[in-house]
Chains A and B, each alone.
Chain A
């Protein structure tokens, strides 16, 4: 996928494995190159191995096999305090017995910098997160968002080139979280540092990242830009994990020029892009994004199915129509309010259509996991 050139890689994972009990691999054969200055997000459900990867990079866990390189240097045996990697923790881990300023001074004092330099850096870091006035406060006197920003400032104040973030926004409410996402993104752009960000919130991942690595069962399923992940998922896990997804199971009937005909289990036929099918006769899952399907009237090209309206859900900026596709598939169509036919009621019969290029034929979902 283009990241294998290795020359400018900031961090490299080579065949890394990790097991805690000697029986189950939490991380299986991880190969990953993180570019200098990149914002990479590790995304996955809990237990998928993403946090373990981060902890191995930070030095709090040792890989069972394989090696991790920082630049050209293998850091498997380097203790965490010698790695010079900034880290932001889930619950901030601000030291409660120190003031904000003392928290920020801590990494600088440990490095035995001259006092004047320390003061200047602390001031700069506080200015960066716009909390200059709070230097004398204790962490518990700050709000969650403020603590978050101090934790960020502390991870950056000693000038690390690599900063790790372990679900740092998980404890914030939605509005603050979205605000912080942009703030972190801007800090990343301004400082040009490499950030590895762990989250299970795909919205967060899509907002902030240059690339996203989707983890499942200790393996990276796909590592790509947000757009590629959403539009061109390589397998059914990624398709269903990122964004909403209508999954239609069926069997490949014919395959030509990257397109395939799939006979769905309900009997209908659908034309789709063959992205991950093993051949004619194989089981497959066709993925259609809800906003790529639409309700059509009359005849026309592309895939068309008749369906019964089960439910119409009004969501302010858009409306969601739940359908019963012929043969019993659940199917959701998402459309702008302006396109909604006001006469539509549940129980009505409609035709749902989608272009072949927006239907992806992927690996079958059942046997895969």
Chain B
């Protein structure tokens, strides 16, 4: 009986269903549209724009258009032909005193100190006085115009895009021939900072787990009344400003602070310990601030684990502690995974706490992002550091997900 119905009505029925579903989808879409637009405008677009800044390189091309044009087919093995010099003279005379030229000079100076003055001085001395060719005159004015590397540098920055910032953020640079190499001084400023950021985040995550796990277990096993009360204390830090909490830690941890007083009074130490403006202080405050982010996911997972599992393990002959380890603990892994990830990723972006409680040796990547945006207005470096931080976080997330995901795949929570 149902066959003819299915045959004759299949198409219209499907269309009807689609129409009905479409209305529903539109309605849901309309509900989240304001949020989607808001996020797009205030979150996704600025991030994308900032990330693009890390490869953005408009300065030289804007200030020296003719020169760039002349250099476009230049192989870069020997000094460019006369035309390029003439174009440079023309560009510099046109741009004399303009902001564009100043920015291009600043940009080139980043890679080769001294180029700013070269460019600005040359522009100031134009137009050329002598009748000699532009090449001869420029070299006479400053011998660097007769050096291959100056021209290579300009040619390298002729493009609108550069990998200079990203490489610099990894302590790499391009040498005169364009090969990627370690910085000349052999310093490893940013790799060290990235390593420090990851290590400190890892340590904070481990401490949060060690402190948060027993707390979450207690919360999950207490009666509803007492666990609600305790939960208020766990969430209490959320109600105060992060600055207030950091300031409080300074008061507590400083040389003449409460904790040192107590330690001396108890005879544990003779002289005050250095607890703040070093790594100890940063760890203490970060663990304190991030602990709820570990406790809450753990608690919600543990709350869902029936006490019967432990009983079952014990009834099968397993001693209590081993039962906990073999049966209860594996079931909490999704909570550990979620909490750990949350704390780790939040730590990676920490800025204020290390800035206020740490020495220069505790500053993490975010500090340098702020430094480049606020102090030197080097958007390229700030964007490159941010992009690399984001990439590192995503990479770690993928690795972590693979590790923890495979461990929890077998045990989806009921």
A128 to B39, CA, bound (A): 59
Task: Point out the residue from A89, A97, A138 that lies within 8 Å of B308, measured CB to CB.
Answer: A89
Interface membership of A93, Cβ < 8 A: yes
Interface membership of A106, Cβ < 8 A: yes
Residue of B at shortest CB range from A96? Answer: B411
Task: Point out the residue from B311, B326, B412, B413 that lies within 8 Å of A93, measured CB to CB.
Answer: B311
Least CB distance, B315 to chain A, in whole angstroms: 4
Q: Is the CB of A91 within 8 A of B306?
A: yes
- B residues 316-373 with Cβ under 8 Å of A? 316-320, 322-323, 326-327, 330-331, 333
Interface membership of B312, Cβ < 8 A: yes
Identify the stretch in A79-87, A229-237, A296-304 within 8 Å (CB) of chain B at 4 or more residues: A79-87
Least CB distance, B404 to chain A, in whole angstroms: 13
Given A111-B317, A158-B316, decide whether A80 and B309 contact each other with a Cβ distance below 8 A. Answer: no
Interface membership of A43, Cβ < 8 A: no
Q: Is the CB of A81 within 8 A of B311?
A: no
Q: Is the CB of A80 within 8 A of B414?
A: no
Q: Which residues of chain A are within 8 angstroms of B333 by Cβ–Cβ distance?
A: 97
Least CB distance, B336 to chain A, in whole angstroms: 13
Least CB distance, B406 to chain A, in whole angstroms: 12
Least CB distance, A211 to chain B, in whole angstroms: 23
Q: Which residues of chain B are within 8 angstroms of A99 by Cβ–Cβ distance?
A: 410
A96 to B304, CA, bound (A): 13
Given A89-B311, A93-B312, decide whether A81 and B330 contact each other with a Cβ distance below 8 A. Answer: no
Q: Is the CB of B316 within 8 A of A110?
A: yes
Q: Is the CB of B316 within 8 A of A154?
A: yes
Q: Which residues of chain A are within 8 angstroms of B314 by Cβ–Cβ distance?
A: 59-60, 79-81
Least CB distance, A369 to chain B, in whole angstroms: 30
Q: Which residues of chain B are within 8 angstroms of A82 by Cβ–Cβ distance?
A: 317
Q: Mark B54-86, 1 if CB is under 8 A from A, else 0.
A: 000000000000000000000000000000000
Residue of A at shortest CB range from B316? Answer: A107
A361 to B333, CA, bound (A): 61
Q: Which residues of chain A are within 8 angstroms of B327 by Cβ–Cβ distance?
A: 95
Q: Which residues of chain A are within 8 angstroms of B309 by Cβ–Cβ distance?
A: 93, 95
Given A84-B317, A97-B331, decide whether A138 and B411 contact each other with a Cβ distance below 8 A. Answer: yes
Least CB distance, A168 to chain B, in whole angstroms: 12
Interface membership of B313, Cβ < 8 A: yes
A219 to B314, CA, bound (A): 28
A85 to B316, CA, bound (A): 8
Q: Which residues of chain B are within 8 angstroms of A84 by Cβ–Cβ distance?
A: 317
Q: Which residues of chain B are within 8 angstroms of A98 by Cβ–Cβ distance?
A: 410
Q: Mark B227-268, 1 if CB is under 8 A from A, else 0.
A: 000000000000000000000000000000000000000000
Given A87-B312, A89-B311, A91-B308, decide whether A97 and B317 contact each other with a Cβ distance below 8 A. Answer: no
Given A81-B320, A93-B309, decide whether A86 and B413 contact each other with a Cβ distance below 8 A. Answer: no
Q: Mark A154-186, 1 if CB is under 8 A from B, else 0.
A: 110010000010000000000000000000000
Q: How large is the interface on A (under 10, 10 to 19, 20 to 34, 35 or more residues)?
A: 20 to 34
Q: Is the CB of A106 within 8 A of B315?
A: no
Q: Which residues of chain A are within 8 angstroms of B308 by Cβ–Cβ distance?
A: 89-91, 93
Interface membership of A212, Cβ < 8 A: no
Q: Which of A89, A95, A99 has the most CB of B within 10 A?
A: A95
Q: Mark A333-358, 1 if CB is under 8 A from B, else 0.
A: 00000000000000000000000000
Q: Is the CB of A80 within 8 A of B413?
A: no
Given A110-B317, A110-B318, A111-B317, decide whether A96 and B413 contact each other with a Cβ distance below 8 A. Answer: yes
Least CB distance, A113 to chain B, in whole angstroms: 11
Q: Mark B180-202, 1 if CB is under 8 A from A, else 0.
A: 00000000000000000000000
Q: Which residues of chain A are within 8 angstroms of B320 by Cβ–Cβ distance?
A: 79, 81
Q: Which residues of chain A are within 8 angstroms of B410 by Cβ–Cβ distance?
A: 97-99, 138
Q: Mark A32-68, 1 if CB is under 8 A from B, else 0.
A: 0000000000000000000000000011100000000
Task: Point out the residue from B319, B326, B331 that lies within 8 Å of A81, measured CB to CB.
Answer: B319
Q: Which residues of chain A are within 8 angstroms of B312 by Cβ–Cβ distance?
A: 87, 89, 93-95
Q: Which residues of chain B are within 8 angstroms of A207 by Cβ–Cβ distance?
A: none
Q: Which residues of chain B are within 8 angstroms of A3 by Cβ–Cβ distance?
A: none
Least CB distance, B125 to chain A, in whole angstroms: 78
Q: Which residues of chain A are within 8 angstroms of B326 by Cβ–Cβ distance?
A: 106
A90 to B306, CA, bound (A): 12
Least CB distance, B141 to chain A, in whole angstroms: 77
Least CB distance, B113 to chain A, in whole angstroms: 60
Q: Which residues of chain B are within 8 angstroms of A107 by Cβ–Cβ distance?
A: 316-318
Interface membership of A254, Cβ < 8 A: no
Q: Is the CB of B331 within 8 A of A87?
A: no
Q: Is the CB of A80 within 8 A of B411?
A: no
Least CB distance, A110 to chain B, in whole angstroms: 5
Q: Which residues of chain B are within 8 angstroms of A111 by Cβ–Cβ distance?
A: 317
Given A138-B410, A140-B412, decide whether A158 and B311 contact each other with a Cβ distance below 8 A. Answer: no
Q: Which residues of chain A are within 8 angstroms of B412 by Cβ–Cβ distance?
A: 96, 140
Q: Is the CB of A85 within 8 A of B315?
A: yes
A154 to B413, CA, bound (A): 21
Q: Which of B309, B312, B323 has the most CB of A within 10 A?
A: B312
A139 to B308, CA, bound (A): 15
Q: Which residues of chain B are within 8 angstroms of A59 by Cβ–Cβ distance?
A: 314
Q: Mark A95-118, 1 if CB is under 8 A from B, else 0.
A: 111110000001100110000000
Task: Point out the residue from B315, B319, B411, B414 that lies within 8 Å of A86, measured CB to CB.
Answer: B315
Q: Which residues of chain B are within 8 angstroms of A158 by Cβ–Cβ distance?
A: 316-317
A107 to B410, CA, bound (A): 20
A106 to B308, CA, bound (A): 16
Least CB distance, A277 to chain B, in whole angstroms: 45
Given A89-B308, A91-B306, decide whether A96 and B313 contact each other with a Cβ distance below 8 A. Answer: no
Q: Which residues of chain A are within 8 angstroms of B317 by Cβ–Cβ distance?
A: 81-82, 84, 107, 110-111, 158
Residue of A at shortest CB range from B310? Answer: A93
Q: Which residues of chain B are within 8 angstroms of A97 by Cβ–Cβ distance?
A: 330-331, 333, 410-411
A98 to B318, CA, bound (A): 15
Q: Is the CB of A110 within 8 A of B322?
A: yes
Residue of A at shortest CB range from B327? Answer: A95
Q: Which residues of chain B are within 8 angstroms of A81 by Cβ–Cβ distance?
A: 314-320, 323
Q: Mark B287-316, 1 if CB is under 8 A from A, else 0.
A: 000000000000000000010110111111
Q: Is the CB of B413 within 8 A of A58?
A: no
Q: Which of B308, B316, B319, B322 has the most CB of A within 10 A?
A: B316
A111 to B309, CA, bound (A): 18
Least CB distance, B13 to chain A, in whole angstroms: 33
Given A93-B309, A97-B331, decide whether A58 and B411 contact each other with a Cβ distance below 8 A. Answer: no
Q: Top 4 closest A-B pairs, CB basis?
A: A97-B411, A93-B312, A107-B316, A87-B315
A-B contact pairs, 22 of them (CB 8 A): A58-B315, A79-B319, A80-B311, A80-B314, A80-B315, A81-B318, A82-B317, A86-B315, A91-B306, A93-B312, A96-B331, A96-B414, A97-B331, A106-B313, A106-B316, A107-B316, A107-B317, A110-B316, A110-B317, A110-B322, A111-B317, A158-B317
Give the A-binding residues of B (Cβ under 8 A).
306, 308-309, 311-320, 322-323, 326-327, 330-331, 333, 410-414
